[in-house]
Amino acid sequence: MKWGKSGSFQTASGSKFRIKTHTGGVGPNALETTQLTQAVTVSQTILLRILAQLAWPEKGSKDARNARLERLFLTDARGPAGDALDTIYKKLELVVNGIKAKVNVKVAPDVNHYGYIGFMPGHLGVVRGVVSRRHNLAKVDGKLSSFCDVHIDQSTLPDTVLSVITLIHEATHKYASTNDHFYLKNDGITYDGAITRAQALNNADTFAWFCYAEYDNL
């Protein structure tokens, strides 16, 4: 399946992103393009702010943040241990560094996923992952591969919350090699399985919902 660029935009943070659609297919209309641009901009704003908050927390926000970390990452109620907080910070730092580069978002109808990350296995994928700092190397199905573009379901775009959470979720896969151990239900609180702390610290949905909850004070 071939993809072609249908638009290129600059976000408020100064980075650029490109929209790609199926060659010969129906791409996003003007409204959907605006919705995607807004979702990318908000996602970047959230990630930049959350990383800064973890490094230099505002006064009076510690207890609420610790409660969110406990709820989602299963850390200690009194506050995350240093190694857990370090893991969270380093992964978000990788994501923030990644989104400062050019980001490609492929948009198409998808009845099976809100979004996903493409990957390239084999020698070409390894070379691409080593050469390009925008792509991360990880094992996919036991093969060393590089993560490629973010894909998002076209029908997700009108949902401003879901589109942002989906983009952050996929960005953690792409730039920080997170896994999909378990997903959170739409309440942003309940997992669809018995997740462990170790799994939560490398779970894409955990990072996505934490960032959104922290940003929106949920």
Burial class (CB in 10 A: 0-12, 13-18, 19+), 206: buried
Give how far the C-alpha of residue 67 lies from the chain's centroid of Cα atoms, to the nearest Å.
22
Q: What pLDDT, on a 0 to 100 scale, did the predictor assign at position 125?
A: 57
* Phi and psi, residue 57, nearest 5°: -65, 140
Rounded to two decimals, the pTM is 0.89
**Which residues have a Cβ under 8 Å from the Cβ of 66 and sit 6 or more positions away?**
75, 77, 78, 79, 80
pLDDT beyond 90 at 216: no
The Cβ-side half-sphere exposure at 14, using a 13 Å CA radius, reads 4
Q: 3-116+158-216 belongs to which CATH class?
A: alpha beta
Q: What pLDDT, on a 0 to 100 scale, did the predictor assign at position 127?
A: 61
Distance CA 167, CA 154 (A): 12
**Which residues have a Cβ under 8 Å from the Cβ of 48 and sit 6 or more positions away?**
13, 96
Q: How far is CA 17 from CA 22, 100, 106, 114, in A?
A: 17, 10, 11, 19
Q: Round to the nearest angstrom and report the end-to-end CA distance of the chain.
A: 40
Distance CA 175, CA 92 (A): 9
pLDDT beyond 90 at 25: no
pLDDT 10s digits, 65-83: 889 999 999 999 888 888 9
Q: What pLDDT, on a 0 to 100 scale, did the predictor assign at position 211?
A: 95
Q: Does residue 103 contact residue 40 with C-beta atoms inside 8 Å?
A: yes
Mean pLDDT within 40-52: 91
Q: Does residue 216 contact residue 173 with C-beta atoms inside 8 Å?
A: no
Compute the C-alpha angle 206/210/213, nearest 5°.
140
Distance CA 50, CA 214 (A): 7
- Collect contacts of 76-79 with beta carbons under 8 A, ≥24 apart: none
pLDDT 10s digits, 92-103: 999 998 887 778
Distance CA 161, CA 39 (A): 8
